[in-house]
Amino acid sequence: MKICKECKSEKDNDCFYGVQGECKECTKLRVKKNSAKVGHKYDFSEIGVIRVIYKTQKRHNKLRGHGDMSYTKKELSLWLYDNGFKCIYDLWVKSGWVTGEKPSVDRLDDFNGYSLQNIQLSTWNANRQHQHEDIMSANGTSGERCKTLYKYDGIKNLIATYVSYSSAARDMGYSLEYQIKKKTKCRGGYFWSYAPF
Ligand SMILES: [Zn+2]
């Protein structure tokens, strides 16, 4: 008889694998738990993080009407490693995978889509800070940055409101000033207005 160091119950010797201190049942449980973690781990690997970054960029580029990506995932990967990805990634791992420390790719000019000339590597926290500063500084081109902006579909049903011009323009990825002024559809097929229609 032997006491399992894990579940603390006394069991027959054949309930243990060799000289292991934990019983077969506990061993199986531990292996199962670990493999669940490993199965989930791909998203936390370097290649997994890059895959998600690329997938997200691709989706946003399309949503904002910027069309196809101007670089491949492989090209992004090379660019990332050239621009300190490994360092930021390692810091994120060291932080215990804190979301704010996760590597993130930001556009330098929010009015343009993703291109290798228009991206910078940073972290989630830094990106959020960038947006916050943008809103707080309110020094936009239109002087209308902190007024609520309303977004309508093609038949003028209200579908979204934005806290500011800049957050809407960033979300769409292009300038909306002309369309607001002229009350015409933007290239995504939406109407924009500072006052409800
Ligand atoms: Zn046990």
> Are 111 and 189 part of one and the same domain?
no
Q: What pLDDT score does 9 carry?
A: 93
Give ion ligand 1 contacts, CB < 5 A.
4, 6-7, 23, 26
CA of 38 to the centre of ligand 1 (A): 22
Cα 60 to chain center, whole Å? Answer: 11
Query: For the residues of 92-120, what is the DSSP string, one character each?
Result: HHHTTS-GGGSEEEEESSTTS---TTSEE
Query: Hey, what are 5's tokens?
Result: 């160091």
> Are 62 and 132 part of one and the same domain?
yes
pLDDT value at 92 more than 60: yes
Q: What pLDDT score does 32 carry?
A: 74
Assess if residue 10 is contained within a domain. no
> Are 115 and 83 part of one and the same domain?
yes
What is the reported pTM? 0.50
Q: Average pLDDT in the 147-160 region? A: 87
> Are 64 and 126 part of one and the same domain?
yes
Assess if residue 15 is contained within a domain. no
Q: What pLDDT score does 141 carry?
A: 36
CA of 27 to the centre of ligand 1 (A): 7
> Are 132 and 189 part of one and the same domain?
no
Is the CB of residue 26 less than 8 Å from the CB of residue 9? no
- Identify the top-confidence range among 20-34, 77-91, 156-170: 77-91
Q: What pLDDT score does 17 carry?
A: 80
pLDDT classification of 51: cutoffs 50, 70, 90: very high
Which of residues 89, 117, 137 is at a domain's end?
137
pLDDT classification of 190: cutoffs 50, 70, 90: very high
Assess if residue 74 is contained within a domain. yes
CA of 15 to the centre of ligand 1 (A): 9
> Are 68 and 130 part of one and the same domain?
yes
What's the domain range around 97? 46-137
Assess if residue 55 is contained within a domain. yes
Instruction: Characterize the bridge pairing of strands 119-123 and 149-152.
Output: unpaired
Is the CB of residue 103 less than 8 Å from the CB of residue 53? yes
Is the CB of residue 151 less than 8 Å from the CB of residue 169? no
CA of 17 to the centre of ligand 1 (A): 11
pLDDT value at 150 more than 80: yes
Residue with the bigger pLDDT between 70 and 88: it is 70
Q: Average pLDDT in the 91-118 region? A: 84
> Are 70 and 125 part of one and the same domain?
yes
Is the CB of residue 173 less than 8 Å from the CB of residue 65? yes
Number of compact structural domains in the chain: 2
CA of 132 to the centre of ligand 1 (A): 52
Separation CA 124–CA 122 (nearest Å):
7
CA of 19 to the centre of ligand 1 (A): 13
Cα 38 to chain center, whole Å? Answer: 21
> Are 132 and 166 part of one and the same domain?
no
Q: What pLDDT score does 10 carry?
A: 93
